[in-house]
Amino acid sequence: MPITVMRPKRFVRSAERVALVALLALFTIKGFLPAWQHLNSDFPNYYLIARLHRAGFPLERVYDWTWLQRQKDHAGIDQGLVSFIPSTLLSALVVSPWCSLPPLAAKHYWLIVNLIFLLGLILLLARLTKLGWERVAIIAFLAFIPLRNNFLFGQMHVLVLLFVTFAAWLFLRRFEFLSGISLAIAAGLKIYPALFLIYFLWKRQWRAAIGLATGLAAASVASLWFFGKDACLVYLWQVLPAGLRGETIDPYSPAWNSWTALLRRLFVSEPELNPSPVAHLPWLYAVLQPFVCGLILVAVLWAIGRQKADSDRTRIEWASFVFFLLFLSSQPGSYHFVVMILPAALLTDYLIAREQRHWAAIVLVLYVLICLPVIRFPGVAPAGWSNLLFFSRLAFMTIFAGVTVWLLFAGSKEPLKQQFSMRNSAFAFAALIALVAFGFISNEKHLRGQFQNYNHRVTNIPGNLFAGQPAQTLSSLLFTDMTSSGYALRQQNSTDSTHHPDGDWFHATSSENSDFIWAENATGGSSRVVRLSNDSSGLRSVEEFELTNAEEPVVSGDGQLLAFLRPVKGRNSLWEWKVPTAGAMEEAALEIAAEEYDVREATFLPDHQLIFSARKNGRFRLYIASLSGQIRGLGWPDCSARYPAVSPDGKWLAFACEHGTGSQIHVTDLQGQQDSQLTDGDCNSISPVWTADSKSIVYATDCGRGLGLTALAQITVSH
């Protein structure tokens, strides 16, 4: 009986179908089903912002870590930590149609829509290439980890990639203006597609550049319309620059596997997040970071060239530029690598069409290695030069970048001699020098003064991302500590946070002559202010002393009065309550300032008057509420001021004053005539609290850290 031998092509097709089925099964079991069952981390961020927007909350505080956490608790979302940094405001609108549903039900709809986006992406890539939909699907699902995490976390990078791919499809069909519009829509969700403006200007594709610029302008107008000027300015002046510098979340984490993160770990120290670099040489980081990024940008633009390209050449230019945007990113998460599907598909198609199957195989192998988890070496700590062992993905991306640049140069119609002419080389060198000079000046200016607080830190908790809202008690310093499951209270030099059931704990406060502590407990529906006893067994609630619908307490020095905030759709009114003594009847709280003031922080004077910060007409000012209930503006300082704190001796006022894009600690007498600035740097120093002797201040600072992720430091005040 003759043996039937399957033809090679039929065998390959059968193997491809088996591989596709296996990848689909793996994605379903390890990705989609777990995503369907749990909220996980990122979807609640978008869902919560959409919900707050629909409820009419002002959104200028959505990038405040603890404020957003409180709103999460009030909404009853079962999630440990939430944060909206560094997301764009418009990204929240994508899930807005389902924000009236319970969070998990809303995520179900979002997952179904994402499956449709993924199918559309595969079909569109099949139209852009000659690979066929099955091979495109295999390439897509080879990015298993990025796709799984995109669905698991409820991210929107599949949608962003769909818009970028659609832009490429439009561009190849000479709808350049609409291509720019599609990229602008993607940039409204995740900012990096906006950098295609560099490519369009370099290639002198004016219609595409105008389309992208027009779309970005429209997105800006939409943000202003939906979210208001204040929220947009916070994003523009604080969040966006921090994102571009890689200073959101932990800027030193090896998980980012970027050049920016690697150079920070090697040459910038931080007591808690990066205590063991090779050396603390910020000036070297300030030079090397723009040099590496500038070299990457100059290399890819040089390889792309400025000549008009045919459709095949345009495909690999788009593939290369998309990859290099990811390569230049300062903090790419695992789900960001969904974008690698586009360059992998386009480059593979280009190489197979030219019978360069070995290069196509190399591209696919590197693509898979980039999408896999970062390699870990057991027993090796990320310290000193050992940090290099924790950046395996960056190494594979660097090799991929080299292959891509070689393909661009080799595939050009210009001879290599002309591409590397003296004129082109001189232009590239001059561009690199200009980029390095600009980057160094910008980095040096930004880093100046950021490390002065290192020697004055009052806490040192390895790996701790957030310690803030300090409060001085009789026996110790108390502060709010971020844990993996939320926010708790911790005492200075304590090894563990003092956890309490039912939600997050914020804003501890204590009087000068009592060991009792007041703190805010945020739970489902609202917050409450609870009195805690502080003894050898730790912090314990004293339930008979409790205020409902109350936030951010502050107690008078003698312990007789308690001030707190009550929110009305995101705007705070200020209230005062007389703490009942033994046997006395409890009195009702009195409103001091209505929600039109939008009060943020308050402090007591020795005579029980209140100084508070409030936001009126887009700026923070300090006000004083007299015993008779009259409110007047202090008339000083001239800056936008927050976080007032009166010294225990009643002679001095500390506060945080906005300087450019950051806030710094100031101290003045109570007439506002002896103002002195205590801290400096392009960062934030906030929440001052006085020591008992009125000679020092403990404050929270994010200098040298991620935006809003503060540590505690102490500074002596010279009166």
Which CATH number covers residue 614?
Answer: 2.120.10.30
Average confidence (pLDDT) over 18-47: 94
Q: Is 548 exposed, middle or buried (0-12, 13-18, 19+ CB in 10 A)?
A: exposed
Query: Which of 165-169, 278-282, 355-359, 697-701 has the least mean pLDDT?
Result: 355-359
C-beta separation of 330 from 246 below 8 A: yes
Residue 306 half-sphere exposure toward CB, CA atoms < 13 A: 10
C-beta separation of 153 from 113 below 8 A: no
Is the pLDDT score of 581 beyond 80?
Answer: no
My answer on whether 74 and 140 are in the same domain is yes
Task: Evaluate whether residue 4 is within a structural domain.
Answer: no
Query: Could you tell me which of 142, 140, 128 has the C-alpha nearest to residue 171?
Result: 128
Quick one: pLDDT at residue 499?
Answer: 52
Query: Could you tell me which of 631, 603, 599 has the C-alpha nearest to residue 615?
Result: 599
Task: Evaluate whether residue 239 is within a structural domain.
Answer: no
My answer on whether 60 and 118 are in the same domain is yes
Average confidence (pLDDT) over 84-92: 95
In angstroms, the CA 268 to CA 257 distance is 16
Is the pLDDT score of 4 beyond 90?
Answer: no
How is residue 390 annotated by DSSP?
A: G
Quick one: pLDDT at residue 6?
Answer: 46
- The 3-state DSSP class for residue 341 equals helix
My answer on whether 222 and 354 are in the same domain is no
Quick one: pLDDT at residue 285?
Answer: 98
CA-based angle 227:525:154, to the nearest 5? 55
Query: Could you tell me which of 493, 485, 480 has the C-alpha nearest to residue 551?
Result: 480
Task: Evaluate whether residue 577 is within a structural domain.
Answer: yes
Using one digit for the tens of pLDDT, what is the confidence trace for 484-523? 889 999 988 665 556 555 789 999 999 877 778 899 999 8
My answer on whether 702 and 556 are in the same domain is yes
Which CA distances in Å does 663 have to 144, 247, 446, 600, 703? 43, 16, 14, 15, 11
In angstroms, the CA 591 to CA 593 distance is 6
Indicate the number of domains in the chain: 3
Quick one: pLDDT at residue 582?
Answer: 64
CA-based angle 533:535:540, to the nearest 5? 40
| Domain boundaries, position 160 | 14-231
Quick one: pLDDT at residue 495?
Answer: 57
Which CA distances in Å does 540 have to 159, 494, 581? 48, 16, 19
Average confidence (pLDDT) over 695-714: 96
Q: Domain boundary at 167, 200, 231, which?
A: 231
pTM: 0.93
Q: Is the peptide bond before 86 cis (omega within 30 degrees of 0)?
A: yes
My answer on whether 574 and 623 are in the same domain is yes
Quick one: pLDDT at residue 616?
Answer: 78
Task: Evaluate whether residue 23 is within a structural domain.
Answer: yes
Using one digit for the tens of pLDDT, what is the confidence trace for 636-688? 998 999 999 999 999 999 999 998 888 999 999 998 788 899 999 999 999 99
Using one digit for the tens of pLDDT, what is the confidence trace for 31-43? 999 999 999 889 9
Cβ-proximal residues to 318 (8 Å cutoff; 6+ apart), any chain: 168, 171, 342, 346
Task: Evaluate whether residue 7 is within a structural domain.
Answer: no
State both tokens at 590: 């009195």
My answer on whether 298 and 338 are in the same domain is yes
Q: Tell me the angle at which helices 282-304 and 311-328 cross, rounded to the nearest 10 degrees.
A: 170
Is the pLDDT score of 692 beyond 50?
Answer: yes
H or E segment and range at residue 572: strand 571-578
- φ, ψ dihedrals at 670, nearest 5°: -75, 0
Count other C-beta atoms under 10 Å from residue 400's C-beta.
25
**pLDDT band, residue 292 (cuts 50/70/90):** very high
Q: Domain boundary at 432, 447, 462, which?
A: 447
Query: Could you tell me which of 113, 220, 305, 702 has the C-alpha nearest to residue 466?
Result: 702
Average confidence (pLDDT) over 393-421: 91
Task: Evaluate whether residue 64 is within a structural domain.
Answer: yes
The full length of the chain comes to: 719
Count other C-beta atoms under 10 Å from residue 426's C-beta.
10
Task: Name the average pLDDT for the chain.
Answer: 92
Using one digit for the tens of pLDDT, what is the confidence trace for 98-134? 999 999 999 999 999 999 999 999 999 999 999 999 9
My answer on whether 523 and 380 are in the same domain is no
> Roughly how many angstroms between the first and final C-alpha of the chain, as a whole number?
104
My answer on whether 490 and 574 are in the same domain is yes
Cβ-proximal residues to 583 (8 Å cutoff; 6+ apart), any chain: none
Task: Evaluate whether residue 9 is within a structural domain.
Answer: no
State both tokens at 327: 């390569």
Task: Evaluate whether residue 240 is within a structural domain.
Answer: no
**pLDDT band, residue 588 (cuts 50/70/90):** confident
My answer on whether 540 and 614 are in the same domain is yes
Average confidence (pLDDT) over 84-106: 95
Strand partners, 593: 574
Quick one: pLDDT at residue 585?
Answer: 57
My answer on whether 184 and 307 are in the same domain is no
My answer on whether 401 and 474 are in the same domain is no
Quick one: pLDDT at residue 351?
Answer: 96
My answer on whether 443 and 458 are in the same domain is no
Query: Could you tell me which of 607, 494, 506, 612 has the C-alpha nearest to residue 552?
Result: 506
Query: Could you tell me which of 639, 582, 574, 583 has the C-alpha nearest to residue 601?
Result: 574
Is the pLDDT score of 255 beyond 60?
Answer: yes
Q: Domain boundary at 402, 418, 447, which?
A: 447
